[in-house]
Amino acid sequence: MKSPSHSPQGRRPDPRRADGARPGKPPARNPTRVAALALLTAVLERHRPMEEALDALPPSDPRDRAAAHRIAAAVLRRLGSLDAVLEPFLRREPPPEVRQVLRIGAAELLLLATPPHAAVASCVDLVPRPFAGLVNAVLRKVGAEGAAALEDLDGERLDTPGWLWTAWHKAYGPGVRAIARAHRLPAPLDLSLKAGTALPEGAVLLPTGTVRLPAGTRITELPAFIEGAAWAQDAAAALPARLLAARAGERVADLCAAPGGKTAQLAATGAEVVAVERDPTRILRLRENLARLGLDARVVQGDATEWDPGHRFDAILLDAPCSATGTIRRHPDVPYLKRPTDIPTLAGLQGPMLAHAAKLLAPGGRLVFATCSLQPEEGEAQAANPPAGLLPDPIRAEEVPGLEGAITPEGWLRTRPDLWEEHGGMDGFFMARFRAAE
Ligand SMILES: C[S@@+](CC[C@H](N)C(=O)[O-])C[C@H]1O[C@@H](n2cnc3c(N)ncnc32)[C@H](O)[C@@H]1O
């Protein structure tokens, strides 16, 4: 008969061990850290989006999930720096699961102000027994020496994957550092409100109309959200629909519409809105969001490169699928999900989409092309080569109060995460407006 044992060698663990692992029954693993480990494993090893991994977590207290997300996001924001701090304390590469736990522990100790004992003990409990001693020893050293080491690093460079650094340096010169710095901070909660909705307590009204609350605010607890009068939308993400300036009664198409932040803005004007989206799962979210807000739009499942309802539109919003590198503050997993080869692939889709959208526009109609990307191939390069029949309709300073400096000489709008730093930044977007020839 096999003797009962919890140790890999078939011996009972020594109750006096100095590695932090407790003897006897396996320790109860902390649900927040277990979930944080699952999120990091999904993103860094399986290259799955963090939101998808969050949805796949077993049912748990929403506060545990939020805390797990906070830890995983902190690791992803400072991944290069955390690895550099860990490096001198590791003689060889640990298994991937142990590496993720060490990153969690280092983030808790150096970035999240978790009490050292709790950070170390909960991380020790997360790894298989043979690695408990290693995790305990390394994290104790990180606790003692890590803060000084972190300060000496070039974190902006280390926390930005090389291909993104090179591309942003080429596009924005020294601005790459400001962009990288902005990516370190959790983004505030930005809301769009239905007209006449009172400003939530503690909110700031930004010059372009977005309402901003501090990072970490729980949207589901806000009265305006509960009443169906508010939706989450970054300050930059609210600009494309604003620039389209839809009017009541106009025929408006929102191509690539889910989850529907911009559809909601367009529908709130009283325009007749058709929202086109290819992905059936995302269509469900789009419908749910419109229903929650009590806003009306016709939702159509279709491919924006070929959808044609047989009539023309007064205004079209094309919020094209892109690499989403402008949203890294809100989605710190993006740098670890995207590859350099994604950029030409997506740019190769955006061109034909813009060309098809142009064909759906009535004479004199307006079109706004937008992407939430910092890569010029997905913005400036597209607008510089518009399809036949589209004329430039430059964005004017009075349309974007406080962002006049983000208007390019061509009349496009280029936002970056380091803009409005004093207000808490904004997503990186590109927007260009056109008119169809009369
Ligand atoms: C940037 S997101 C749109 C965000 C949305 N406009 C909003 O404000 O909430 C791009 C969307 O395009 C959809 N999409 C991708 N390829 C598409 C295509 N060929 N036709 C229609 N929709 C597409 C994606 O599923 C995704 O929902």
Segment 286-329, tens digit of pLDDT: 999 999 999 999 999 999 999 999 999 999 999 999 999 999 99
**Residue 86 C-alpha to ligand 1 middle, in angstroms?**
39
Same domain, 123 and 231: no
Asked if residue 242 belongs to a domain, the reply is: yes
% pLDDT > 70, the chain: 94
| 202 pLDDT higher than 60 | yes
Mean pLDDT of the chain: 93
Q: What is the CATH number of the domain that holds 259?
A: 3.40.50.150
Same domain, 145 and 209: no
Same domain, 388 and 275: yes
CA nearest ligand 1 atom 19, residue: 303
**Residue 255 C-alpha to ligand 1 middle, in angstroms?**
7
Q: What is the CATH number of the domain that holds 117?
A: 1.10.940.10
Same domain, 88 and 227: no
**Residue 56 C-alpha to ligand 1 middle, in angstroms?**
22
**Considering its fold, how many domains does the chain have in total?**
2
| 8 pLDDT higher than 60 | no
**Contact between 326 and 319 (Cβ < 8 Å):** no
Asked if residue 165 belongs to a domain, the reply is: no
Residue 407, Cβ neighbours under 10 Å: how many? 18
Whole-model pTM? 0.92
Asked if residue 197 belongs to a domain, the reply is: yes
Q: How far out from the chain centre does Cα 208 lie?
A: 21
CA nearest ligand 1 atom 10, residue: 321
Average pLDDT over residues 38-47: 98
Asked if residue 224 belongs to a domain, the reply is: yes
Asked if residue 115 belongs to a domain, the reply is: yes
Same domain, 246 and 306: yes
Reported as a pLDDT band with limits 50, 70 and 90, residue 17 is very low
CA nearest ligand 1 atom 13, residue: 256
Q: What's the domain range around 228? A: 189-436
Would you please indicate which residues are annotated as catalytic (active-site) residues?
A: 372
Closest atom of ligand 1 to CA, residue 260: 9
Reported as a pLDDT band with limits 50, 70 and 90, residue 25 is low
Closest atom of ligand 1 to CA, residue 317: 6
CA nearest ligand 1 atom 17, residue: 278
Q: Note the pLDDT of residue 26.
A: 57
**Residue 380 C-alpha to ligand 1 middle, in angstroms?**
19
Q: Note the pLDDT of residue 22.
A: 47
Selected residue with higher pLDDT from 63 and 70: 70
Pocket test of ligand 1: the residue of 256, 305, 334, 372 to mutate, having most ligand atoms within 8 Å of its CB, is: 256
Same domain, 46 and 104: yes
Same domain, 209 and 328: yes
Segment 150-191, tens digit of pLDDT: 999 999 999 999 999 999 999 999 999 999 999 999 999 999
Same domain, 337 and 404: yes
Same domain, 220 and 110: no
How many whole angstroms separate alpha carbon 74 and alpha carbon 4?
40
Sign of CA dihedral 403, 409, 415, 421: negative
Average pLDDT over residues 236-250: 98
Q: Note the pLDDT of residue 12.
A: 39
Reported as a pLDDT band with limits 50, 70 and 90, residue 29 is confident
Closest atom of ligand 1 to CA, residue 258: 27
Same domain, 113 and 194: no
Q: Which residues sit in the known binding site for S-adenosyl-L-methionine?
A: 256-262, 277, 303, 319
Same domain, 85 and 219: no
**Residue 318 C-alpha to ligand 1 middle, in angstroms?**
9
CA nearest ligand 1 atom 27, residue: 258
Closest atom of ligand 1 to CA, residue 241: 8
Segment 99-133, tens digit of pLDDT: 999 999 999 999 999 999 999 999 999 999 999 99
Q: 99, 134, 156: which is the final residue of a domain?
A: 156
Same domain, 117 and 263: no
Asked if residue 125 belongs to a domain, the reply is: yes
| Across 15-24, 45-54, 251-260, least confident range | 15-24
Asked if residue 174 belongs to a domain, the reply is: no
CA nearest ligand 1 atom 14, residue: 256
The side-by-side arrangement of strands in the sheet containing 211-213 is 204-205, 211-213, 189-193, 230-232
Closest atom of ligand 1 to CA, residue 319: 6
% pLDDT > 90, the chain: 91
**Residue 258 C-alpha to ligand 1 middle, in angstroms?**
6
Asked if residue 23 belongs to a domain, the reply is: no
Contacts (Cβ under 8 Å, ≥6 apart) of 46: none
Q: Note the pLDDT of residue 21.
A: 45
| 24 pLDDT higher than 70 | no
Give ligand 1 pocket residues (Cβ under 6 A): 256-262, 276-279, 282, 303-305, 319, 321, 372
